[in-house]
């Protein structure tokens, strides 16, 4: 029991060290400057009628951009997304609304939508990718580009504040930021081309268009279910550099409305996150050991084992609270860290089961051929 508790404590201490390094060394958003270069914003939309109005309202109010164009593509929505985005952008001289082509069997839906948007957009210095459930502050785009320029990088993934209103969002969504803040030293990873050192979030990315062209646009990630990470890896393999930045103060996103949506979203892609069933099983076992096991050991063991387990649990919860504070996530969710990890492991297993059964889908489209 002492060995089990000691290993759990060691993992959490390592997380603490990495978190400490990142909190002090990771890049911050730069002050906003006036952006004179041409900027294209690509916004794919599929069945987003309930969310897109606030997204477009925020886009209309963007500041410090002298020359920017917004390209929206209705990806064959089954609701009234197309009529809504057409109406909402009618008075925007810099907005173009496109109708998506039928999905090519070699592509994943979002990648194909972005491919169409990129193909039909004008030349630009910078390309911004954003999801339809993202809401921006007035200077979000300009400040993100200012940060990209000042950091002398080729792409940035600006991580939004994750809005959490249901119990499942409250428990699970803060894990997104926790993972990259506690497992990967961000500054050294900027210039590493190793796939394991790549982190990204496609909810909002800023890319030098020349770098995007250098990898053949979105053709390089046409069938990757985690298209954002695949895109970042492709950029790094081509010699380009980038990282993730905490953007909670300028961008927010609500990905899911309830556990049904959250479960579907996680299950569609978690299988792809760790490479293979063996790797996924190893990660699940490691997570259970480090973040779940300390709770029963602290409660039901005694002596040194209990003390070590309690130390591991306190550190784990403390790290979760620290990352929540940093990324403006609900701090109270840290108290339920073991439960959140348990649900995460369940969703990871369910994702692989769906993969083996050929049941993977998203927004009504099969993902059986995805990587």
Look at the pTM and tell me if it is higher than 0.85: yes
Give the Å distances, CA to CA, from 157 to 205, 211, 350.
4, 14, 28
CA angle (22 as vertex; 20, 24 as ends), nearest 5: 75
Mean pLDDT computed over 246-275: 95
Please tell me the predicted confidence (pLDDT) of residue 364.
84
Tokens of 220: 């390089």
User: Taking a C-beta distance cutoff of 8 angstroms, is the pair 130, 43 a contact?
Assistant: yes
Residue 304 has phi, psi (to 5 degrees) of -65, -40
The stretches of the chain forming alpha helices (DSSP H) are 2-25, 52-60, 81-88, 109-120, 140-151, 167-172, 174-183, 186-189, 209-214, 227-237, 259-273, 277-287, 294-300, 303-327, 337-357
Q: Rounded CA gap, 42 and 55, in Å? A: 13
User: What 3-state DSSP class applies to 51?
Assistant: coil
Confidence tier at 363 by pLDDT (50, 70, 90): confident
Instruction: Name 126's Cβ contacts closer than 8 Å, sequence gap at least 6.
Output: 35, 37, 38, 39, 40, 145, 148, 206, 207, 208, 209
Q: Rounded CA gap, 96 and 335, in Å? A: 46
Place of tokens 């930045």: 245
Quote the percentage of the chain above a pLDDT of 90: 91
Mean pLDDT computed over 294-319: 95
State yes or no: pLDDT of 369 exceeds 80.
Answer: no
Confidence tier at 135 by pLDDT (50, 70, 90): very high
Place of tokens 């995460």: 344
User: What 3-state DSSP class applies to 277?
Assistant: helix
The separation between CA 229 and the C-alpha centre of its own chain, rounded to angstroms, equals 9
More confident: 65 or 2: 65
Nearest by Cα to 336 from 168, 176, 171:
171
Confidence tier at 314 by pLDDT (50, 70, 90): very high
Task: Reply yes or no on domain 26-255 having CATH 3.40.50.720.
Answer: no
Tally DSSP H helices, then E strands, for the chain.
15, 12
Please tell me the predicted confidence (pLDDT) of residue 282.
97
State yes or no: pLDDT of 105 exceeds 90.
Answer: no
Classify 207 in phi/psi space as left (phi over 0), alpha (psi -120 to 50) or beta.
beta
Confidence tier at 39 by pLDDT (50, 70, 90): very high
- Average pLDDT over the chain reads 95
State yes or no: pLDDT of 137 exceeds 80.
Answer: yes
196-218 residue pLDDT tens = 889 999 999 999 999 999 999 99
Please tell me the predicted confidence (pLDDT) of residue 325.
97
How many residues belong to the chain? 371
Tokens of 356: 């083996």
Place of tokens 């609500």: 254
Confidence tier at 40 by pLDDT (50, 70, 90): very high
Domain residue spans of the chain: 2-22+260-366, 26-255
Confidence tier at 52 by pLDDT (50, 70, 90): very high
CA dihedral sign of residues 261, 368, 232, 138: negative
Q: Rounded CA gap, 327 and 20, in Å? A: 14
Please tell me the predicted confidence (pLDDT) of residue 367.
87
First to last CA, the chain: 40
Tokens of 54: 């606030």
The separation between CA 245 and the C-alpha centre of its own chain, rounded to angstroms, equals 11
Quote the percentage of the chain above a pLDDT of 70: 100
Q: Supply the DSSP symbol for 131.
A: -
């Amino acid at each position: 029991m002492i060995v089990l508790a000691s290993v759990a404590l060691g993992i959490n201490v390592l997380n603490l060290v990495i978190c400490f390094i990142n909190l002090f060394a990771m890049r911050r958003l730069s002050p906003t400057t006036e952006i004179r270069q041409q900027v294209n914003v690509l916004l794919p939309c599929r069945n987003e009628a309930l969310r897109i109005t606030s997204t477009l309202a925020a886009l209309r109010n963007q500041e410090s951009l002298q020359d920017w164009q917004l390209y929206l593509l209705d990806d064959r929505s089954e609701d009234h997304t197309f009529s809504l985005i057409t109406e909402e952008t009618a008075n925007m001289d810099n907005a173009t609304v496109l109708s998506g082509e039928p999905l090519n069997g070699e592509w994943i839906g979002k990648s194909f939508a972005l491919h169409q948007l990129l193909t039909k957009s004008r030349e630009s210095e910078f390309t911004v990718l954003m999801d339809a459930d993202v809401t921006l502050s007035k200077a979000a785009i300009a400040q993100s580009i200012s940060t990209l320029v000042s950091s002398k990088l080729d792409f940035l993934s600006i991580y939004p504040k994750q809005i959490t209103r249901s119990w499942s969002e409250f428990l699970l969504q803060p894990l997104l930021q926790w993972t990259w803040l506690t497992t990967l030293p961000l500054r050294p990873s900027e210039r590493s081309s190793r796939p394991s050192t790549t982190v990204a979030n496609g909810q909002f990315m800023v890319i030098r268009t020349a770098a995007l062209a250098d990898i053949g646009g979105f053709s390089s990630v046409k069938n990757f279910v985690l298209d954002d990470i695949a895109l970042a890896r492709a950029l790094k393999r081509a010699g380009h550099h980038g990282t993730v930045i905490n953007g909670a103060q300028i961008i927010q996103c609500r990905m899911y409305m309830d556990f049904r949506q959250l479960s579907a979203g996680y299950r569609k892609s978690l299988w792809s996150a760790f490479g293979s069933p063996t790797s996924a099983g190893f990660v699940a076992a490691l997570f259970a050991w480090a973040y779940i096991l300390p709770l029963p050991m602290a409660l039901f063991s005694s002596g040194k084992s209990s003390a070590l387990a309690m130390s591991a649990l306190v550190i784990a919860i403390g790290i979760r609270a620290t990352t929540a504070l940093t990324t403006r996530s609900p701090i109270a969710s840290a108290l339920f860290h073991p439960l959140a990890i348990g649900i995460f492991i369940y969703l990871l297993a369910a994702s692989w089961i769906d993969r083996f059964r050929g049941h993977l889908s998203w927004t009504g489209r099969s993902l059986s051929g995805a990587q």
